[in-house]
Amino acid sequence: MKKFDYLKPQSLEEVLSLLNQFGTKAKLIGGGTDAIVMQRQNKISPDLFISLRGIPGLDHIEGNGLLKIGAMVTHRAIEQSPLIRERFPLLSEASGLLGSVQIRNVATLGGNLCTASPSAETAPPLLVYEAEVHLISQKGERRIPLESFFLGPGETALEQKEVLKEILLQPPPPNSRGAYLKLGRRKAMDLAVVNVAVLLTLNPKTGICERARIALGAVAPTPIRVREAENIIEGNQLNDELIRKAGEMAKHTCSPISDIRASSEYRREMVGVLVEKAIRQSLT
């Protein structure tokens, strides 16, 4: 590996100052589970890693209404948080499927999102929950939808001198139920071949689906919402035909590639299978 320097600032203000000083020569590092691997593979080669470990204000899970999850919160903390399990169970479940327990104790939510892998474990659940990201720099702060944050494989809307501070989640509407499904070559410690999140809001009296959110991972350059499939089931009582049509629409909306883990044809077929299965699980 190329030699690099490592700094561990003590405050967010110091982090922003270092980013301003070193610019493109610096790379932020959270848990480091992705960054070090990418460094070894020569995908990144910064002169300086700036650690976010121990920075006050980046490791919180809080909020009675709007939930705020700091970028440095680990996946293990998300998996075990009673607040997230109760209010955003799909996110808790997805975090619990990421890597090993050892990895989840180190890897952070912010790192998972900023790496911007198309198969990012937490992205589909956060997309159906319509999460926002809170970004901060010396110029100020901004909030953008997570869907707009992903620009391409390994590419985000995060500017060079910005830091992802936290992820923001509004409570889903009452009577919302969902499912998260991951297909991998192994049952554990594997990247997703396809991952799917579904969140439905059902009228308790009529059974009509008043709101639908469907998101996919590992089948496009970025994790994506599938609005065309959502529109098929919104406003309707769900039956086998509509569920099948939603799955078919999701198949034709995604754009998977072939790689070492699966062919594009297999991924596309599994999108339809998993979307149908996740919708059915959301109804039970």
Q: Once rounded to an integer, what is the mean pLDDT over residues 77-101? A: 95
- Is 156's pLDDT higher than 80? yes
The band of 130, judged by pLDDT with boundaries at 50, 70 and 90, is very high
Q: List the one residue out of 180, 248, 257 whose CA is nearest residue 218.
A: 257
Q: How far apart are CA 198 and CA 204, in angstroms?
A: 18
Q: Count Cα atoms within 13 angstroms, Cβ side, for 44.
A: 21
- Is 187's pLDDT higher than 70? no
Both tokens assigned to 202 = 């059902």
Strands 26-29 vs 48-51: parallel, antiparallel or unpaired: parallel
Helix axes 264-283, 240-253, angle to 10 degrees: 150
Pick the CATH number of 61-169 from 3.30.465.10, 3.30.565.10, 3.10.129.10, 1.10.10.10: 3.30.465.10
The pLDDT value given to residue 188: 58
The pLDDT value given to residue 270: 97
Topology of domain 179-283, CATH: Enolase-like; domain 1 (3.30.390)
The pLDDT value given to residue 217: 96
Task: Name the residue ranges covered by the structural domains of the chain.
Answer: 5-51, 61-169, 179-283
The band of 186, judged by pLDDT with boundaries at 50, 70 and 90, is low
Question: What rounded mean pLDDT belongs to the chain?
Answer: 93
The pLDDT value given to residue 189: 58
Query: Has domain 5-51 been given CATH number 3.40.50.920?
Result: no
Q: Are 238 and 271 in contact (CB under 8 A)?
A: no
Q: Are 246 and 209 in contact (CB under 8 A)?
A: no
pTM of the model: 0.94
